[in-house]
Structure 1
Amino acid sequence: MSKKGLTYKIWDESKKMWGISGSAILIAVTQFSIKLVTLRFVGHFGNVEFAAVSVVQSVIECFVYGVLLGMGSALETLCGQAVGAGQLNMLGIYMQRSWIITGVTALILTPIYVFTSPILKFIRQSKNISELAGKYAIWVLPQLYAYALNFPIQKFFQSQSKVWVMTVISVVVLVFHVLLNWIFMTKLGHGMLAAAMVGNISYWLINLAQIVYIISGYFPDAWTGFSTLAFKSLPAFVKLSLASAVMLCLELWYYTALILLVGFSKNPEIAVDAVSVSMNLQLWTIMIALGFNAAVSVRVSNELGAGEPKAAKFSVVVAVSTSVLFGLVFTSAILGAKNHFPKVFTNKPLVVSEASKLSYLLSATIFLNSIQHVLHGVAVGAGWQVQVAFINVGCYYLFGIPIGGLLGYKFNLGVQGIWSGMLAGCLLQTVLLLLYVHRTNWGNEVTKKIEFTLMLCTLSI
């Protein structure tokens, strides 16, 4: 292929990828920024308050976020298939079916919020942090059900390329969220309860605006009202989402384990605050990586379904290269502002100092995540969820966490030792995934994808 022909091919693939990932990134970043804004305002009240909210966001909410996002992931495949087959009437039914599943899942997860304080104490977290986190977790319980409703709605919109509507709604609500926090916390001096209530309002406003848009007639073919068909094929629907849920949860819970390990340190308030500042910045960049994750998942799935193995492989190369470029930009930004970025969240000198010391580990983690999450998108598109789940268990839980605990406590390296060990697990996982993709026979994957699609057709009945 000529250099000109290759350039055109890269440009064409990039346009397809950005058409999917651009809005997905904006939605993920704006909705996640609601939590960052909450943390930023709480961070100026005190170390214990900041640590308590951080633990709830990084441990409790991260846990349920992974479960609910995973349980709603079946909708992505089924809605895409329905649009391709011209069965738009099934989209509303699929969304309702997903609401049932995510709603029941949220109900099952509710005790985690209610018993947050005793759970944290049981795993030997600081008493002060555990008690305050327990109160905050109960206050933000409405957000659990907001997630359960929101994930299926997102897939419903995305499958019909109505993503910019969600983007506008998310941006408007984020601005409203900042304004409410400024009024109730900065001007009126209210504390964590106000932060929780403002967060509840913001997340439910997003859902309300999206539902109003759906039922206002903008989806005449896809939304025809509520239907009893939503209760059919529920077991098959659940089964379809489990592998993706496990893969995603193992990823998100790994970073939850980092917060918990740090909670065992001698000065947990300062240590948890410092790690939480870094983790929230990292999670913000992950939202961008998840946009590329969604894009490469769709592109690989489409090309394999169309019987184009070379095109699927090329999509992987372009997506990984683009995401790595963004990873390098963020890595440089973190290193360049290592003494200043913690001040966005807190004005406590000790926390700022400790968070700054973690900048090198944070930047390395961000860079690896820029590769890692795209490879996870490839796994979803190609149907490798089970294989990747086993890789995650081995690299994270059998290697990274034990190494982190050993470095942190046995060798007295503290927070930096814990993070270094877990970073080693992240590096090992990234290397193994790259080798897995490199050794893949994409022609064989086409055959597997056709067989998988035939199986999914049974769920459309």
Structure 2
Amino acid sequence: MEGDPKQKLLITKESSSEEELTLVKRVWEESKLMWVVAAPGIFTRFSTFGINVITQAFVGHIGSRELAAFALVYTVLVRFVNGILLGMATALSTLCGQAFGAKEYGMMGVYLQRSWIVLFLTAFILLPLFIFTRPIFILLGQDESIAEVAGTISLWSIPIMFAFIVSFTCQTFLQSQSKNVIIAFLAAFSIIFHVCLSWLLVIKLNLGLPSAIVATSLAYWIPNIGQLIFVTCGWCHETWKGFSFLAFRELWPVVKLSLSAGAMLCLELWYNTILVLLTGNMKNAEVEIDALSICLNINGWEMMISLGFMAAASVRVANELGKGSAKAAKFSIVVTVLTSLTIGFLLFLFFLFFRERLAYIFTSNKEVADAVGDLSPLLSISILLNSVQPVLSGVAIGAGWQSIVAYVNIGCYYVVGIPVGIVLGKVIDLQVKGIWIGMLFGTFVQTLVLTIITYKTNWDEQVNIARNRVNRWSKMGNSDQETKINTPDD
């Protein structure tokens, strides 16, 4: 005899309610794990990016030409180098994140040291770009007087390039094990120090352009020293076992993963660089570069939020793949993307409303502020797209897809975005707006492709790939250690 239909309906409602509660609880638990990485990561990136913005504000009070030169150096040269080094450092995020999830803690310190070796060698190869900045910019068609000032700025900025290496790798190492609160404290101290020192050197003592760059360099290195002390002096005793000669072994796999990671991320960061370079060849270049650099700095502020979520996505995906949980990895992706998109939409509305009023934070020039207001709708759309795309890149980093995404970036950015931008900007004569529209179209296509790839991925297979990677690399380290232990003394 069948049960009462009303009773069945009540049972169905109760089970549905329990599922909803379970989902809410899962979202809450995943959100907590995500924000443990994302919140300090966002704050740290705000502080780090704020160093450049503060420097730009002080340089802007020195002169318009100096501001344009600073924009060129930091939006073109430093972004170019930053893209390579940050991209190569994301290989460490894949390795450390998956190793931590798999509880192979001992290899994480070795991965960190291998990454230092690879990145410092790369930095020395990139050094001539800072030495020959002036002729490079002139060759690229930039104004000669602006290129002259840019050459001075780039020479004073060499220590900043090496600061990036320590910063990127230590932050990645600590984020992989959710120990990044210390990074946020150091970043907060650094930005306060930078404001005070910049005011003293540039405004009070009037020491000019080099003093502004020196203050910037010190602001980058102070938190690096603190992070190195934290990593090497006992606060990471499980994952840091001291300096080891193992770091010099099996470097080639690290180089290959670093190169594919570098190609993936630098292709994204260079995208905006090309936008600035194309603007430099247009009419009224100084105003256009100043306005665009302000828009890109505002966009960069929002990008720091997205990069915090990118770090969270890469850590959560890598940790869960290392643990062997495909479902948890997929769930973390959904929660992180939706959270970032919600924040991005609110900021989209905010920047669409304030328009040129925000420009007066960076400049007192009305012509530049009006140009910023004219670009504000494109800025708002860029902010909305950037709330999703970096998070999907973080998923790729966590899973180790850097080489696949590099090909996607080439197609979407350089085959689609830039040609469309050049046609709109130069052929149809929409100037900088046309170039930016084309670039945004490329970003939209790239976001769409990454969404499809993420949705179609067999995550159970990704668990097996991560497990094989961790096992293979940990065996390399263990076999080397055993060889060292078992070798008899002379």
TM-score category of the 2 structures, normalised to the smaller one: over 0.9
Q: CA deviation at 1:20?
A: 1.6
Which AA in structure 2 matches 1:65?
Answer: N
**Alignment partners' CA distance in 2, 1:17 and 1:344:** 32
**Alignment partners' CA distance in 2, 1:410 and 1:317:** 41
Aligned equivalent of 1:282, options 292, 299, 311: 299
Map of 1:329 onto structure 2: 346
1:225-264 equivalent positions in 2, closer than 5 A = 225-264=242-281
Question: Would the aligned equivalents of 1:278 and 1:355 in 2 still touch at CA under 8 Å?
Answer: yes
**Alignment partners' CA distance in 1, 2:397 and 2:99:** 18
**Alignment partners' CA distance in 1, 2:239 and 2:146:** 47
Aligned equivalent of 2:318, options 283, 295, 301: 301
Which AA in structure 2 matches 1:138?
Answer: L
Q: CA deviation at 1:439?
A: 2.6
**Alignment partners' CA distance in 2, 1:104 and 1:362:** 37
1:203 paired to 2:220 = yes
Aligned equivalent of 2:113, options 91, 96, 108: 96
Task: Note closer, same or farther for the CA distance 1:385–1:87 as it changes in structure 2 (3 Å cut).
Answer: closer
Task: Note closer, same or farther for the CA distance 1:307–1:99 as it changes in structure 2 (3 Å cut).
Answer: closer
Map of 2:79 onto structure 1: 62
Give per-residue Cα distances to partners, 1:67-100, cap 9 Å, x unaligned.
1112222322333344455554444333222221
Q: CA deviation at 1:400?
A: 0.8
Give the SS at the match of 2:61: coil
**Alignment partners' CA distance in 1, 2:314 and 2:231:** 25
Q: CA deviation at 1:437?
A: 2.2
Percent identity of paired positions between Structure 1 and Structure 2 = 43
Which AA in structure 1 matches 2:251?
Answer: L
Task: Note closer, same or farther for the CA distance 1:455–1:219 as it changes in structure 2 (3 Å cut).
Answer: closer
Give the SS at the match of 1:125: coil
1:312 paired to 2:303 = no
Task: Note closer, same or farther for the CA distance 1:419–1:86 as it changes in structure 2 (3 Å cut).
Answer: closer
Q: CA deviation at 1:157?
A: 2.4
Q: CA deviation at 1:223?
A: 4.0
Larger Rg over CA atoms: 2
Question: Would the aligned equivalents of 1:43 and 1:347 in 2 still touch at CA under 8 Å?
Answer: no
**Alignment partners' CA distance in 2, 1:151 and 1:366:** 24
Give per-residue Cα distances to partners, 1:28-49, cap 9 Å, x unaligned.
1111111111011112222211
1:180-219 equivalent positions in 2, closer than 5 A = 180-219=197-236
Structure 2 portions without partners, runs of 5+ = 1-15, 479-490
**Alignment partners' CA distance in 2, 1:219 and 1:295:** 20
1:30-109 equivalent positions in 2, closer than 5 A = 30-84=47-101, 86-109=103-126
**Alignment partners' CA distance in 2, 1:223 and 1:296:** 24
Normalised by the length of structure 2, the TM-score is 0.89
Give the SS at the match of 1:244: helix
Aligned equivalent of 1:446, options 439, 460, 463: 463
Give per-residue Cα distances to partners, 1:329-385, cap 9 Å, x unaligned.
211221121121111111111111111111100010110011101111112223322
1:329-408 equivalent positions in 2, closer than 5 A = 329-408=346-425
Which AA in structure 2 matches 1:426?
Answer: T
Q: CA deviation at 1:27?
A: 1.3
Question: Would the aligned equivalents of 2:176 and 2:315 in 1 still touch at CA under 8 Å?
Answer: no
Task: Note closer, same or farther for the CA distance 1:211–1:233 as it changes in structure 2 (3 Å cut).
Answer: same
Give per-residue Cα distances to partners, 1:200-240, cap 9 Å, x unaligned.
11112122222233444334454454332221111122122
Normalised by the length of structure 1, the TM-score is 0.95
Q: CA deviation at 1:253?
A: 0.6
Map of 2:21 onto structure 1: 4
Which AA in structure 2 matches 1:373?
Answer: P
1:13 paired to 2:49 = no
